[in-house]
Structure 1
Amino acid sequence: MNDRFVIILAAGKGTRMKSKLYKVLHPVCGKPMVDYVLTQVEALSPEKVVTIVGEGHEQIESVLGDRSDYAVQEEQLGTGHAVLQAEDLLKEKTGTTLVISGDTPLFTKETLDKLFSFHEEQKAQVTVLTAKTSEPFGYGRVIRGADGQVDKIVEQKDTNEQEALVEEINTGVYCFDNQTLFQRLHEVGNNNAQSEYYLPDVVEIIKKVGGKIAAYQMDNFDESMGVNDRVALSRTQAMMQRRINEQHMRNGVTIVDPTNTYIDIDVEIGSDTVVEPNTKIFGKTTIGSNCLIGSGSRIEDSQIGNNIKIISSTIEESKMADGSNCGPNSHLRPATELGEDVHIGNFCELKNVQVGPRTKIGHLTYVGDATLGSDINVGCGVVFVNFDGVQKFHSEIGSHTFIGSNSNIVSPVKVSDHAFIAAGSTITDDVPYHAMAIARQRQTNKEDFWQRLSVSDSEEWNK
């Protein structure tokens, strides 16, 4: 097998995206488009990858890092000119060079490997990756001769009536003999409407000097979709999402309604987990086995254990140990960690909290900047008052404690094990072991208070 090299074209400004974000950095299912392309070619173990970048190249380099070499195209003078920027890095190499666009995230390593192998088997100077579609309008057509070999590639605007009916199109991906590529690039002219140097012109030049032109037709046209505007981005996202969801289902995950379930590319989900509709799972999230992710839930960059139930809740940068549950309509904010069999009920919010095993926080409660032990019962309407407007303060609640409804924990306080806090208390001091803290004014009844009202007020009240 010849040495393999890759050039990724990522210098286009993407003006049709109408965005401040560099085009190839627009995300598809949680990963920038160009990252998908690089990930797939990395799987082929090439000797070198060169990414052609342009204005704003620092953004791409910060995303891809040292996974690629870079060459800068200072002026946008066409795809041929872009490839030429890699000359200093590749021109002395012997082998096969793949040229692919950074805005084509749907290509798979399997397709690209087949293209490499076909090119090498054919001993061609250039091989064009083609696809067949019943709607070829807008694509360059691949015209084959009677022997099945490539005769020419005709752009849409240049096709005659018969050529326009051809359904085999040019995907814009090529394999070249590396030294032939850089030799012939210098012969490309810019005598066209855009005054640009086009890479497909190299194919015509190679043919004229007797070089062999081959074409490999891929199985799935959808892989070739490039992204030039937000409409294409949406279509690409839908195709990638279908691919991701199908992979999870093949791995034993039940996705009730795949068309209304949104899962990022790097998410991991264990078998026998059920994901209900209108669920969104983002980032580096991992979810274990035998879980239920209920409708309307949103999970981002979190670690979810086994046998967990999340119902209509939001989980951000948090951890849930085996057997815990959350919701409906609760929110775990960053740095929250739930121990095994913890119960978080409805309309609760936790932030920067560590909760020990079997603790129950039932409903309508806020817990922030605190450590809670095991087997605690937190009543309804409890609020951890942790912010004085300048600083955040931390409280510690011991195991087997009871916090009565409508209590305020004014941090920083320490509540020892087996302590009790009476309902309606505002706790500002530490609570010792086995003690009950009552921090509320004693009830006073004002006798005959009704009589203090005027007669007219009393009549109005009784209406």
Structure 2
Amino acid sequence: MSEQVTAIVLAAGAGTRMKSRRAKVLHEIAGRPMLGHALDAVRAAGVDRVVTVVGHDREQVEAAVAALDPSVTIAVQAEQRGTGDAVRVALDAAGADAATYLVTYADVPLLSAETLRALVDEHRANGRAVTILTSEPEDPTGYGRILRDGTGAVVAIREHKDATDDERATREVNSGILVVDGPFLDRAVRALSTDNAQAELYLTDIVGQAVTEGLPVGAHVLEDVWQTEGVNDRRQLVRLGRELNTRIVNHWLAEGVTILDPGTTWIDTGVTIGRDTTILPGTQLLGATTIGEGVTIGPDTTVRNVEIGDDASVVRTHGSDSVVGPRATVGPFAYLRPGTVIDEGGKVGTFVEVKNSHIGAGAKVPHLSYVGDAEVGEGSNLGA
């Protein structure tokens, strides 16, 4: 991306169907807020600047943005008047000086950087004013329909509530994600009207405006419909979470990790796993957990932010913020609390709880013990 590209991430919606005190875009999938997935994708796509539009639950979302990416510019949509107004707010906050704008949403967690790069590249290669990311879901209900003329050219996007029965029969839908020429976007959003079923400023109406001006408009059709699916309620959150987990599991299978039961194994996006590791059923690998090569982990094990060395074994264990050294053995039924460090070849056995303690190389705590704030020397044998 040689010319300047600014990404606008829309995160101002109310998310009332989540029925939650937490802002919708802060609900997590694979250990990361949906907003985090969106910011990761636009940054990895190579944009020069990111603007996030906030509104409902403003304080929560602003704090999350600051923690996820402090370089992001915040734009506040004080009154929710539609996506067109949200983009106008973003332009006012960041300055409408970019050559190209990429507009996306904070609640489409499976959208990839590769897709965004392809969208921008196609837009530039064809010299368009607007390029829309579209897909053809099995059930297009609720989505804006892509309207094309007899030559196949895109001429408008019709929101579901405004569409006729014939228009609703169209399978191709607008994902809401689009790339727009900078100067055109600035003047187009300021000319939008609320003359529609929802009395809002629809960003999608800029497509018709571009056509009226004789400017080129096109669509990038995405076969992977999962990437354009958004989250509005907890059922959709679970559904997309399951799909993302399947993709993560398949990635690690391809990288030489054995996962005996993918259906009961959950792996966060921040986890790394070495080759020839075996993950047994009922295992959750969470947070920034790192696992070496040749490790056996599980069954029925949950670890969060745990570092596990090569050839270690962790069985039926719950652990967090701990270090398990190479060839160490943990479990079954062990509990590793924050600050636990087990050196090479150490053992923490059955019904042992360890907190903020250092278990030296080759030391053993075989069973029925609590070790807290302690230093257990190399080769020691400590037990009930």
Same fold, judged at TM 0.5 (above): yes
Q: Indicate how the Cα distance of structure 1 residues 90 and 208 shifts in structure 2: closer, same or farther if over 3 A, else same.
A: farther
Runs of 4+ in 1 over 6 A off after TM superposition: none
- Find the counterpart in structure 2 of residue 14 from structure 1: 15
- Find the counterpart in structure 1 of residue 184 from structure 2: 180
Separation in 2, partners of 1:133, 1:12:
23
- Find the counterpart in structure 1 of residue 106 from structure 2: 102
- How far apart are 1:138 and its partner, in Å? 2.2
- How far apart are 1:355 and its partner, in Å? 0.8
Quote the sequence identity (%): 38
- How far apart are 1:198 and its partner, in Å? 1.3
- How far apart are 1:151 and its partner, in Å? 2.5
Alignment of 1:348-387 (within 5 A): 348-379=352-383, 381=384
Contact residue 144 and residue 160 of structure 2 kept, 8 A: yes
What is the DSSP-based 3-state SS (H/G/I as helix, E as strand, rest coil) of the residue aligned with 1:100?
strand
Separation in 2, partners of 1:116, 1:351:
50
- How far apart are 1:192 and its partner, in Å? 3.0
Spell out, residue by residue over 1:316-371, the C-alpha distance to the aligned partner (whole angstroms, 9 max, x if none): 11111101011111101110110111111111111111011111111111111110
From 199, 208, 211, the counterpart of 1:207: 211
Contact residue 91 and residue 178 of structure 1 kept, 8 A: no
What is the DSSP-based 3-state SS (H/G/I as helix, E as strand, rest coil) of the residue aligned with 1:346?
strand
Please, which moves more after superposition, 175-184 or 86-95?
Answer: 86-95
From 257, 267, 278, the counterpart of 2:271: 267
Matched letter for residue 40 of structure 1 = A
Separation in 1, partners of 2:161, 2:199:
16
- Find the counterpart in structure 1 of residue 128 from structure 2: 124
- How far apart are 1:257 and its partner, in Å? 1.2
Separation in 1, partners of 2:201, 2:103:
15
Separation in 1, partners of 2:256, 2:65:
32
Contact residue 49 and residue 68 of structure 1 kept, 8 A: yes
- Find the counterpart in structure 2 of residue 329 from structure 1: 333
Separation in 2, partners of 1:211, 1:81:
22
Q: Indicate how the Cα distance of structure 1 residues 72 and 260 shifts in structure 2: closer, same or farther if over 3 A, else same.
A: same
Separation in 1, partners of 2:65, 2:95:
23
- How far apart are 1:32 and its partner, in Å? 0.7
- Find the counterpart in structure 1 of residue 234 from structure 2: 230
Separation in 2, partners of 1:192, 1:88:
24
- How far apart are 1:89 and its partner, in Å? 4.2
Separation in 1, partners of 2:218, 2:371:
66
Separation in 1, partners of 2:164, 2:87:
30
- How far apart are 1:94 and its partner, in Å? 4.2
From 257, 262, 269, the counterpart of 1:258: 262
- Find the counterpart in structure 1 of residue 27 from structure 2: 26
Contact residue 74 and residue 93 of structure 2 kept, 8 A: no
Q: Gaps spanning 5+ residues in structure 1: where? A: 382-463
- How far apart are 1:168 and its partner, in Å? 1.1
- How far apart are 1:189 and its partner, in Å? 1.3
Spell out, residue by residue over 1:135-172, the C-alpha distance to the aligned partner (whole angstroms, 9 max, x if none): 22222221222222112222223444443332211111
What is the DSSP-based 3-state SS (H/G/I as helix, E as strand, rest coil) of the residue aligned with 1:364?
strand
Matched letter for residue 59 of structure 1 = Q
Aligned length: 380
Contact residue 91 and residue 179 of structure 1 kept, 8 A: no
- How far apart are 1:64 and its partner, in Å? 2.7
User: Does residue 79 in structure 1 map to residue 83 in structure 2?
Assistant: yes
Contact residue 2 and residue 120 of structure 1 kept, 8 A: no
Separation in 2, partners of 1:70, 1:257:
42
- Find the counterpart in structure 2 of residue 426 from structure 1: none
- Find the counterpart in structure 2 of residue 111 from structure 1: 115
Separation in 1, partners of 2:259, 2:304:
18
- How far apart are 1:282 and its partner, in Å? 0.8
Q: Indicate how the Cα distance of structure 1 residues 40 and 309 shifts in structure 2: closer, same or farther if over 3 A, else same.
A: same
Q: Which is greater in Rg? A: 1
- How far apart are 1:378 and its partner, in Å? 1.6
Matched letter for residue 65 of structure 2 = L
What is the DSSP-based 3-state SS (H/G/I as helix, E as strand, rest coil) of the residue aligned with 2:80?
coil
- How far apart are 1:90 and its partner, in Å? 4.6
User: Does residue 60 in structure 1 map to residue 61 in structure 2?
Assistant: yes
- How far apart are 1:196 and its partner, in Å? 1.7
What is the DSSP-based 3-state SS (H/G/I as helix, E as strand, rest coil) of the residue aligned with 2:237?
helix
TM-score by length of 1: 0.79
- Find the counterpart in structure 1 of residue 41 from structure 2: 40
Q: Gaps spanning 5+ residues in structure 2: where? A: none
Contact residue 353 and residue 370 of structure 1 kept, 8 A: yes
From 165, 168, 172, the counterpart of 1:168: 172
Over aligned residues, Cα RMSD in angstroms?
A: 1.4
Separation in 2, partners of 1:180, 1:154:
20
Contact residue 318 and residue 334 of structure 2 kept, 8 A: yes
